[in-house]
Amino acid sequence: MHTNTTPAQAADRAPVFDLAAERVILGALMAAVAPDKPTGEPTVFDRVAEAIEPETFYNPRHSELYRIIVELHGKGHPIEPVALAGYLADEGELARLAPGTFLTDCYALGLASAGSLNHYVNRVADLAQRRTIEAGGVQLAQAATTPGRSIDDLTALAESLIAKAAPRRRSLELAELGSLINPALDDIEHRAKRKAGIPTGYTDLDRLIGGMQPKQMITVAGATGMGKSITLVDIARHVAIKQRLKVAFFSLEMRTKDIFDRILSAETGVLHTRIRDGLLDDNDWQRVTRQIGPMANAPLYLSDKSPMRVADMARICRKMQRTLGLDLVVIDHMHLVKPSNDRIVELPAVIANVSPDIKREIAMALDVPTLVAAQFNRNPSNRLSKIPELGDLKGSSAIEQDSDVVILAHREDYYDKDSPRCGEADFVVAKCRIGERGIVTVAAQLHLSRFVDMAIN
């Protein structure tokens, strides 16, 4: 047993963590044998999950391993030490999270202590609560001696600390409607003050869809050359450079260098073709020097490796989330993602495989908005009305079903150079799970690789 107290203090202080007990729990999970068929009895995972969350562990490595074990188990992957070590090695995390014989040691402890698992679960949960209470006490003591804090304020703090310290046992993992009322009303009250979702940078579009929300798959679709890549790069640019949020961008079609050229053009206002051809004049160089500042250290992380499977991208994103944080994932585009099974080759089957995986393994599992480009199957140019429709999507049913938002890019001057709407582009919001459908018009400045709000330009 370990304590975080000095020997002098040890006599009058109880230990507030037990690393061996934490290892027993990890080992018991690795050693858990799934029943052949449901028995109605709680499994080892159920018993642990009732009282333990990743944050319940004192040791952060134990928290991370617990999270990974639960995630792998949820996906039906093996989690005994050899399989888990293989997974961690693939992720480049073995040496950091489970050096030497750590996994087999835990496994042995888990097996040896299987009969007393409840004791260890209760002990680790109990110690976590004690730490919360101890930290709350320190916080309260500091607040009480801070000049200017009112009694009302201190009482409210004390109440919230007590609520935080209450045991959180998840006996029945279903919520009764009545229990949702207070938190939901609180949430609604504060919603307007919070950012609804991550803004795309297009004001009217954000108003319509409420920004990009965690867990959402947002699909931008259009005919070839309509401006899907420009839209994706534009949004990523806005999120990373203007909002300084962390973006992982997977370009399966365009090279990183070409994306950089597009971003540079959009940010500096220097013609894209001049950047592409290396024909910058003095004026252009001055603009670049003056305006390149915000691009430095912008948290936009690009990959142009192709082909990629969803699992590859999910692995890279998980690592980024753990090490740097992650706010948005961008994939350009869905039809170039490799299916999880090499035998799947026909397009509708590929999309039926890739689309739900992007939604489940990236958007849902990582709790981030995921922006994906998709191509059209039917070309609206063959129709009288060129306004795009959901049915134009290649492999439409899976994409339609999995996407929370579908934005169809449309430019009239793509079909008619003399159109009175030359230079305008429409984002047709054809599906929006939590908002209205509608059409948003932006200015198409393709020579600068960007779309911009009509209102201010």
Ligand X SMILES: Nc1ncnc2c1ncn2[C@@H]1O[C@H](COP(=O)(O)OP(=O)(O)OP(=O)(O)O)[C@@H](O)[C@H]1O
Which residues of the shown chain bind ligand X in the complex (CB under 6 A)?
Answer: 222, 224-230, 253, 272-273, 375, 446-447
Spacing of C-alpha 124 from chain mean position: 29
142 burial via Cβ count (<10 Å: 0-12, 13-18, 19+): exposed
Tell me how far, at minimum, the Cβ of 265 lies from ligand X, in Å.
7
| For ligand X, the closer CB: 317 or 444 | 444
| For ligand X, the closer CB: 73 or 228 | 228
Tell me how far, at minimum, the Cβ of 371 lies from ligand X, in Å.
13
Coil vs helix vs strand at 220:
strand
Tell me how far, at minimum, the Cβ of 231 lies from ligand X, in Å.
7
Cα–Cα nearest to 362, from 430, 293, 315: 315
Tell me how far, at minimum, the Cβ of 403 lies from ligand X, in Å.
17
| For ligand X, the closer CB: 145 or 224 | 224
Would you state the structure tokens that stand for residue 40, as one six-digit string? 């109605």
Tell me how far, at minimum, the Cβ of 336 lies from ligand X, in Å.
9
Question: Checking DSSP bridges between strand 450-453 and strand 438-445, what pairing results, if any?
Answer: antiparallel
Q: Dihedrals φ, ψ of 450, to 5°? A: -155, 155
Tell me how far, at minimum, the Cβ of 276 lies from ligand X, in Å.
7
Provide the β-strand partners of residue 406: 219, 431
Q: Are the CB atoms for 445 and 270 separated by under 8 Å?
A: no
Tell me how far, at minimum, the Cβ of 240 lies from ligand X, in Å.
18
Residues contacting residue 408 through CB under 8 Å, at least 6 positions apart: 221, 222, 388, 389, 390, 392, 427, 428, 430
| For ligand X, the closer CB: 28 or 259 | 259
| For ligand X, the closer CB: 25 or 408 | 408
| For ligand X, the closer CB: 270 or 368 | 270
| For ligand X, the closer CB: 142 or 273 | 273
Would you state the structure tokens that stand for residue 194, as one six-digit string? 């919070």
Coil vs helix vs strand at 395:
coil
| For ligand X, the closer CB: 213 or 265 | 265
The Cα 336–Cα 326 span in angstroms is 23
| For ligand X, the closer CB: 182 or 381 | 381
Tell me how far, at minimum, the Cβ of 317 lies from ligand X, in Å.
22
Tell me how far, at minimum, the Cβ of 230 lies from ligand X, in Å.
4
Q: Are the CB atoms for 452 and 265 separated by under 8 Å?
A: no
Residue 158, CB-side half-sphere exposure with 13 Å CA sphere:
9
Task: Quote the strand ranges of 39-162, DSSP E.
Answer: none
Find the length of the chain.
457
| For ligand X, the closer CB: 276 or 319 | 276
| For ligand X, the closer CB: 97 or 226 | 226
One DSSP character per residue, 236-299 reads HHIIIIIS---EEEEESSS-HHHHHHHHHHHHH---HHHHHHT---HHHHHHHHHH-GGGTT--
251 C-beta neighbours (distance < 10 Å), count: 24
Tell me how far, at minimum, the Cβ of 214 lies from ligand X, in Å.
25
Would you state the structure tokens that stand for residue 322, as one six-digit string? 């753990």
What distances in angstroms separate CA 375 from CA 5, 182, 205, 224, one per listed residue? 61, 44, 20, 7
Tell me how far, at minimum, the Cβ of 416 lies from ligand X, in Å.
14
Q: Are the CB atoms for 233 and 255 separated by under 8 Å?
A: no
